Amino acid sequence: MRLAKIDWALAAILGAMTLGVAACGSSSSSSSSVPTKIGSGEGQLNLVAWEGYAQPEWVKPFEAATGCQVHAKYAGPSDEMVTLMRQGGGSTYDMVSASGDASLRLISGGNVAAMNVKLVPEWNNFIPQLQSPSHNTVNGVHYGISLQWGPNVLLFNSSKVKPAPTSWEAIYSPKYKGAITVPANPIQIADAALYLSKKQPSLGISDPYELTEPQLNAAVSLLKQQRPLIKKYWGLASDEIELFKNGDVVIGAAWPLATTTLLANKAPVKELIPAEGATGWADTWMLSARAKHPNCAYLWSNWVSTPKVQAEQAISYGEVPASTKACPEMERIQKGSCPRLHANAPSSYFESIKFWKTPVAQCGNGNNDCMDFSVWQRKWTEITA
């Protein structure tokens, strides 16, 4: 593990925040009801998280510093996360690391509470795009603390896929039949739509998450053609990693976690963002509206927002930190990691990625003829059946 002992300075900061203050937590989601102070930790924190988001190198020091024992449930697609956060009337889990295709569903469903970003000082050091992003901030009310972000990349076995691909077309090609893998997630429809926006411009796709019925049908048709080529739809990143390690697949859509893990195991893989661009995800720690351990949740939000932990997670997962101060920490841990993971890239890099968001009926042009997420879910079931 990279962290052999507690960062006592950070522990002192967190400890000071719990002294002489009232307990926080509220089932209301209005900005006026957010806590103004953080109370003593309740001794436990139950998380729903993407695989790799609760690693021992930053969880164990947090537990030692706060007394909050972390219990993490790794979930696969965003649909599973939404379901888990609604279990037990919403009180089973305290927080979720929701991506943009789940966060607005949780907000509109009343499943998550507004959060006071003033209780998370490092929020001020986040890149501007992640201080009040539309996927977790509604009408000026913050429903979570941004975490990390990154692109969905094209991953391939460089010893078997030659020449190296330059387009997403490779995962729709019969050339790799039976050796392709993509996420088991309805939002994968957006990847097909992004590819078609360049391949078939006559469709008029400008936003891969705002699709009219004809545009959605075109993406679904492409994915149905792809279905016989797929070896497996993966739910957890570890599923895809095993597929590549075992040689069951040679190419697929992936998260950077798969790339970093496979490279660490000396697997002959490479990743790239194809010519058509890429979709991506920006994740948020969101607090359950009925959290049993809200103080531990705020302490956790503070811990994972610090430059040191931001850097540790960025390198471990292969993603981009939200903190603008993470780069020096990243370079201390692993030389060259900051530029490699685009942590110091200009804002244009962030703007080039089509980030996940929940499809709704109202298109960006003001019309109401786009297909909402319930339609996407039905279509995905048709594709993968």
CATH of the domain at 117: 3.40.190.10
Domain shared by 184 and 47, yes or no: no
Q: How many helices (H) and strands (E) does the chain have?
A: 14, 14
Tell how strand 145-151 and strand 279-287 pair up: antiparallel
Residue 162 belongs to a domain: no
pLDDT given at position 296: 98
Domain extent for 310: 8-150+281-346
Question: How many domains does the chain divide into?
Answer: 2
| Ramachandran class of 47: left when φ > 0, alpha when ψ lies in -120 to 50, beta otherwise | beta
Same domain, 32 and 119: yes
What residue type is assigned to position 4 of the chain?
A
- Model pLDDT, residue 33: 84
Same domain, 42 and 89: yes
Q: Is residue 155 part of a domain?
A: no
Predicted pLDDT at 42:
98
Residues 123 and 228 in one domain: no
AA identity, residue 350 = F
CA distance 97 to 135: 12
* Cα 29 from Cα 107, distance rounded (Å): 9
SS3 of residue 385 by DSSP: coil
pLDDT of residue 31: 52
**Which run of H or E residues covers position 377?**
helix 373-384
| Tally of residues, the chain | 385
Q: Are 18 and 116 within one domain?
A: yes
Q: What is the largest CA-CA distance in the chain?
A: 65
Residues 327, 217: one domain? no
pLDDT of residue 32: 55
Q: In 73-140, where does DSSP find H-type helix?
A: 78-85, 100-108
Statement to judge: residues 15 and 125 lie in one domain: yes
Beta strands in 196-250 (DSSP E): 230-234
Residues 85 and 189 in one domain: no
Same domain, 143 and 206: no
Residue 2 belongs to some domain of the structure: no
Sort residue 86 into left (φ over 0), alpha (ψ -120 to 50) or beta.
Answer: alpha
Q: Is residue 321 part of a domain?
A: yes
* DSSP helix/strand/coil, 335: coil
Task: For Cα atoms 202, 207, 212, give the angle at the middle one, nearest 5 degrees.
Answer: 65
In a domain, 160, yes or no: no
Mean pLDDT by 10 residues, the chain (385 residues): 30 38 41 87 98 97 98 95 96 97 95 98 97 95 96 97 97 98 97 98 97 98 98 96 98 95 96 96 97 98 98 96 98 96 92 93 90 97 96
Q: What are phi and psi of 150, to 5 degrees?
A: 180, 170
Do 25 and 79 lie in one domain? The reply is yes
Instruction: Decide if 140 contacts 283 (C-beta within 8 A).
Output: no
Alpha-carbon dihedral 288, 290, 293, 298, rounded to 10 degrees: 40
The helix, strand and coil proportions of the chain, stated in percent and rounded to the nearest 5, come to 45, 20, 40
My answer on whether 258 and 300 are in the same domain is no
Are the C-beta atoms of residues 155 and 340 closer than 8 Å to each other? no
- State the pLDDT at residue 364: 81
Q: Is position 3 within any domain?
A: no
Query: Within this chain, do residues 12 and 145 fall inside the same structural domain, yes or no?
Result: yes
Instruction: Give the pLDDT confidence score for residue 24 in this predicted structure.
Output: 53
